[in-house]
Amino acid sequence: MSALLFDPIRLGGLSLPNRIVMPPMTRARAGAGGVPTPLMTQYYRQRASAGLIITEGTQISPQGQGYAWTPGIHSRAQVQGWKEVTKAVHEAGGRIFAQLWHVGRLSHVALQPDGAAPVAPSALVADGVEVFIDPHGLGAAAGSGKKVQHSPPRALETEDVGQIVRQFAAASERALEAGFDGVELHAANGYLINQFLDSGSNLRADRYGGSLANRLRFLEEVTQAVAAVAGASRVGVRLSPLTTAQGTVDATPQASYVAAARLLDRLGVGYIHIAEADWDDAPAMAPGFKEALRLVYSGAMIYSGHYDRERAEEAIARGWADLLGFGRPFIANPDLPRRLRTGAPLNAADPDHYFGGGARGYVDYPSLPCE
């Protein structure tokens, strides 16, 4: 078997020892006020052998929170909590980006200080498009796909959009203060940036809706604002071209997402992170689609979605990907890179403890004995 997955690579000014990424995974272990806890510090430190860790979605404002016990990065206490996480990861030899998150139409009224309605590009979605709400915050692909009731959103006024752009920039500044090596914009899985991008969820008639160029405008403005703070090479963007979570369905996904990749190439971001649809009957992302993205984007490409070592090596060898994300395997295997390298068996994960709770099913999975 080849060892491409264990070749070093440069990313955003960082030297990564391998191409194995721990992608964002909501685990709902934050403390009161969305403050990262010592348990979270332990969890991320255990997984520092990844080439890159990308944190769970981290809300940029109270308005952007959709789920209980998810961390934020909009208060001083949250920044201090994240400082402990980044310090621990760096001391263990790792590298870590913060994923910046606004859930948009999924903002939960009960979690808002003023009980305000969620915000979204549009109050409605296109006719025939269903909204699936995943109460766990991983998107319908990774959650149960169960329909649950949710408060209807209000459409953002044109002048309100700029305020959210500024919140993303401020969150990026706080992430750097907290010691993160960079930031990833969550533009996937049916959340706010994705809601602007896809034709099924963006029914606006102003400069942020209608044409593809207009639907890409919010992504462009957020990326520019964050890059101005962090530097473009330290910014990644996560996209999910075929995921249909939360009503984000696009009429022409390949055309739309190739255009998004071309835009991000022009802006010079450090990487694009593709979340492949990975539920049981999900549509496959065709090789031609992956090749089209590679043709228009010159930075690093990360793919996540049901990868094992063999499929990951193939993706690198065929030129589609530079790095691969292993989500669920990292939950149960804190030493996953070593297990993949040696062919050691993987621990089985405990789905009953994916979301919320304490140490069980979070930091108690065993590592291999020291050699």
> For the chain, what are the domain ranges?
4-353
- How high is the pLDDT of residue 145? 37
Of 51, 62, 59, residue with least CA distance to 100: 59
Choose the catalytic residue: 43, 44, 67, 191: 191
Q: How confident is the model at residue 2 (pLDDT cuts 50, 70, 90)?
A: low
The pLDDT of residue 246 is above 80: no
pLDDT at 152: 81
Annotation marks residue 354 as catalytic? no
Give residue 77's pLDDT band: very low, low, confident or very high (50, 70, 90).
very high
Q: What is the dihedral of CA 268, 271, 273, 274, to 10 degrees?
A: 60
Q: What is the pLDDT of residue 146?
A: 39
Q: How many Cβ atoms are within 10 Å of 258's Cβ, its own excluded? A: 18
Helical H runs in the chain?
Answer: 38-46, 76-91, 158-177, 192-197, 212-215, 217-230, 253-267, 287-296, 309-317, 328-332, 336-342
What's the predicted TM-score (pTM) here?
Answer: 0.94
| Residue 112 confidence (pLDDT) | 74
Bridge partners, 200 (sequence order):
none
Q: Which residue has 């959103």 as its token pair? A: 153
Mean pLDDT is lowest, of 14-23, 97-106, 122-131, 156-165, for 122-131
In this prediction, residues 341-349 reach a mean pLDDT of: 96
Sign of torsion over alpha carbons 182, 321, 339, 71: positive
Least confident of 31-35, 189-193, 281-285, 320-324: 281-285
- Longest distance between any two alpha carbons in the chain, whole Å: 62
- Contact between 22 and 330 under an 8 Å Cβ cutoff? The reply is yes
Is 51's pLDDT higher than 50? Answer: yes
The model's pLDDT over 157-183, given as tens digits with 9 standing for 90+, comes to: 999 999 999 999 999 999 999 999 999
pLDDT tens digit sequence for 113-154? 777 889 999 988 876 666 655 444 433 323 333 344 457 889
| Residue range 4-353, CATH number | 3.20.20.70
Confidence of residue 110 (pLDDT cuts 50, 70, 90): confident
Q: How many residues does the chain have?
A: 371
Find the helix or strand (DSSP H, E) in which 302 lies.
Answer: strand 300-304
Of the candidates 90, 75, 65, the residue with the CA atom closest to the CA atom of residue 35: 75
pLDDT at 15: 97
Q: List 271's β-bridge partners, or say none.
A: 236, 300
What's the whole-number average pLDDT of the chain?
A: 91
> What is the C-alpha separation between 351 and 110, in angstroms, rounded?
26
pLDDT > 70 in the chain, percent = 91
Contact criterion met (CB below 8 Å) for 182 and 97: yes
Taking Cα atoms as reference points, which of 206, 190, 118 lies closest to residue 157? 206
CA distances from 359 to 37, 51, 348 (A): 11, 24, 16
